[in-house]
Amino acid sequence: MIKSGISKLLTTLVSFYLSVMLHLLKLVPQSSRFASLLDLIPALIDQVSNHGYKSVGKLIVEDAVDTVALKAGYQLVPVKQHDGNGKNVEEKGAASPSFDEGVDVGDGGIPGGESVPRKQTLLVNGKNDFKNVVVIGGSIVGQALAMQIRANPLPHPYRVIIIEKHSHAHYMFAFPRAATIPGIESALFAPYTNTFPSPSIGTVINAFVTKITKTHVELDREIDGSKSVEFDYLVMATGANHPEPGNLNLCDTKSDAIKTLKHYQSIIASSSHPLIIGGGAVGIELAAEIKEHYPHKNVTIVHSRERYLGSYKIGMHDKCFKLLQKLGVVQILGDRVEAPKCGFVRDGVKRSYVSKNGRKIESDLVLLCTGMTPNSHLLTPLSPTSLSSSKYIRVRPTLQLHDTQFPNIFAGGDVIDAPDIKTGSSAFNHAGVIVRNIRKLIDEEKKGRNVGDVMEGELESWKAILPQIFLFLGAHHGFAQLAFKNYLYTAGSWLVRRYFSENVLAARMWDWVGTPLNKKTINL
């Protein structure tokens, strides 16, 4: 009886551990995700066995793997293998996760079996029978939306057109490292060429939207002989601007973006007293990267709040503060450095700055990591009431515009006025709600209803997810806040170290846009 109770307890603990690991495995390229989970089984069996329950250890762990894997959408199937003596044995393996069903993935993980991207040629404009779901912005919301459409296309004649001014997708999560350490730049910019398996399902066009009307968007260049694209549905996924090097919004090409990162590598290497203003995720990561790579530099970080990451558990602040302290970063909290009238000059000359609280700080390089500005200006002429006082887009619970005149226009990601924290996880959450609601509206249209007649209660309402974050602080440390059954947990390097990579797992973004990261594709 006692042994049975302990077995149940151990099963629960192992299930929790595996659930956390599966959450982290979302960072790993999809093709190797479950293999990484299965790699944990021997170690877990050893851990359980070490507690004196060797006979039940294997059963407990495999039970937990079954439970957690199925919840995550994986189907475990018997895989016949040889035991070395010519006999077949069955091992647990993983079929494709359920969210990939319906995608024809061939050689190299590219739809259709191609190993390099191909040009999509179906006309965006001109004579065709398509109805367009236009998405302005190809960052996280646009990529998450594309992944769902790739797996389950919209019914004919609907297709998705993503309009993105950057030639390549930007993997911003690695910019603090790439701005400090050379060698990983090319991996951080992936081509959009294979975002969709067929242009009849969706396509990405490289252009800049200059105006939105009730029926179409206007572009800065001609596409198929026209500077406008009509839409039946529109998604505002325009994101927000952050200061460089945390964001490279002004770099429209891969070569320009790489050149900018190398510029930051150069000025950081040349500095002796770098000053980082802003203690959000980017500021903390940048401080850690610089101090770890250049331990003799006098690195200072100034943050206006009394603690880092105020929207997360205090444990995240404590872990970050202690690590930066251990690295030797000077940390000034609850204070500000006001910009001089002429701005912060980057000429390599050491200057003295006085903080709001009167503290003198010397620096020959100031790096701003403060705040964000929403890219919402396109809506001002069309629907000024859909913008908040801080210029974020106001949305209904369905993620439709707050202005009920436009039931066919949605918004998600960093650009919206929403209480959840602006992270990649939130953007993926928004994209899912938007796609499902557009599908519902299309279904209702086929029944003869007007989009404006579909009541808010008939659509899915967006719900904020618990605040989660994953920080890479140099090559050897990382912290995470994860959710499990509506509870939040913080995790240190012991848990996340397994998923460290030189390019901060940039391969996952390449998966998001449909092209694998390898030697053949990295410079595309």
Q: How far apart are CA 170 and CA 19, in angstroms?
A: 29
pLDDT of residue 19: 60
Angle ∠(190,191,196) on CA atoms, nearest 5:
115
CB 75 within 8 A of CB 105: no
| Structural domains of the chain ordered from first start | 2-100 (no CATH), 119-244+373-458 (3.50.50.60), 273-370 (3.50.50.60)
pLDDT of residue 311: 92
CB 165 within 8 A of CB 252: yes
Please report how many Cα atoms fall inside a 13 Å half-sphere around the Cα of residue 252, on the Cβ side.
Answer: 6
CA nearest 286: which of 365, 230, 344? 365
CA nearest 329: which of 360, 283, 281? 283
CA nearest 191: which of 167, 173, 159? 167
Q: Which two tokens stand for residue 331?
A: 């940390």
Q: Which two tokens stand for residue 482?
A: 């994860």
Strands (E), 25-105: 76-82, 88-94
Q: How far apart are CA 191 and CA 177, in angstroms?
A: 21
Counts for the chain of helices (H) and strands (E), in that order: 11, 23
Radius of gyration of the chain (CA): 25
CA nearest 145: which of 204, 198, 105? 204
Packed helices 2-25 and 54-71: angle between N→C axes, nearest 10 degrees: 40
Q: How far apart are CA 164 and CA 146, in angstroms?
A: 13
CB 359 within 8 A of CB 335: yes
DSSP for 32-43, written as a single string:
GHHHHHHHHHHH
Distances (CA, A) of 62 to 22, 41, 137: 15, 8, 43
Which three-class secondary structure state does DSSP give residue 77? Answer: strand
The residue with tokens 């007649």 is 453
Given a cut of 70, the residues of the chain with pLDDT beneath it are: 1-128, 498-499
pLDDT of residue 446: 94
Strands (E), 142-201: 158-164, 168-170, 189-191
| 290-344 residue pLDDT tens | 999 999 999 999 999 999 999 999 999 999 999 999 999 999 999 999 888 888 9
**With a threshold of 0.75, does the pTM exceed it?**
yes
Q: How far apart are CA 280 and CA 310, in angstroms?
A: 9
Q: How far apart are CA 15 and CA 282, in angstroms?
A: 32
CA nearest 135: which of 209, 25, 227? 209
Packed helices 2-25 and 33-49: angle between N→C axes, nearest 10 degrees: 150
pLDDT of residue 123: 59
Distances (CA, A) of 75 to 18, 94, 97, 206, 223: 16, 6, 7, 38, 43
Q: Which two tokens stand for residue 221?
A: 């260049």
pLDDT of residue 85: 40
CB 187 within 8 A of CB 517: yes
Distances (CA, A) of 358 to 118, 337, 361: 58, 10, 9
